[in-house]
Structure 1
Amino acid sequence: MGNIKEETYIKEIEKFIKEKTGINRFLSPKEITKLKKLFNEGYDISKLKEIIEKEINTLPPEKKRNFSLLKISHRKKTISNNEKVEKINKDFFEIEKWKKFIKKHKLPDELLLIKNKNLSPELMDLEIENNIIRYIWKKMKKKEKEKLQQEAIKEIKEKFLTENINIKRVLKTIVYRKIKEKYKIP
């Protein structure tokens, strides 16, 4: 790792993220813990910057403020028995939280299946969340669906100027959020 110190490593990554996202943000304690782990494993800072930049560039401008180190995956080259072995560090991909949620709510494991395997971990996470919410919506009773829709319509009337919005899209978004809150979806 050279002469770079752990604190310098973390500050440099934090500065790099600020530059690439254009957002003045600070790292969360969990993100700092992940960086400390990477530093202690000897993960090269230039490789990490490269991965972070690629990940940020895949995000649309309005999503860049939500960028998190916790949702990126990285590949680390290690030497074992004089051979280079590529190891995927799965700490970053939070599939375990979905497995626990599915098990707790007795949902089918198929909800974890993703059609496009080339998605970034952040988008995979979102895809799984969408699968779960669609499944819950399909299994809801008609009265429960109508109740959620009525609550969403009430919220639209209270908080939005209806002539300036796509009501169907906003309604869908509010219902999505209400399902997420009701079932405590991570």
Structure 2
Amino acid sequence: MGEIVSGTVAAIERFGVFVELDDGPSHPVFPGVGFITIPELSWRRFEAASDVVQVGQRVSCEFLQFDTWNLEARLSLRATQPDPFQAFADRNAVGRKLHGHVTKLVPFGVFVQVANGIEGLVPLRELTWTPAKAPSHVVQVGDEVTVVVTEIDRELRRLILSRRQVLPHHL
């Protein structure tokens, strides 16, 4: 783990969050500003940075690197928190049946939330035994579904699921 720095959220922009640091890592031109990119805010999916932090909030972040172009420290808030995907992967294996709800329909399948902060993809071909032209022909957002884990990729933090494998062969 890298050096931990603390500070106060100074501004929230659509591209990330500026943090006024208490004292930054030693660097000759470092002015005490930290920046957290959107992906480094949280392991969980969120709509806006303000869903994770608020202006004025105290934060402790892991120092990633100096951005000498913008003269700011790149920080990670999520690096100070356990990755829920790795904990999920420790508790679950390929072949495990899970219950969840559909969170998003995409042309190539659907996303199903199977645990807090954990979503997996059910590819279109794994939705039913009979081919479907679109996910909306089979399920809708909010539907409760039972799925089977077919792949857990720890490195890419990707979970692939099948609904077809828990259905009778005629559906």
TM-score, length-normalised on structure 1? 0.27
* Higher helix residue share: 1
* Higher strand residue share: 2
TM-score, length-normalised on structure 2? 0.28
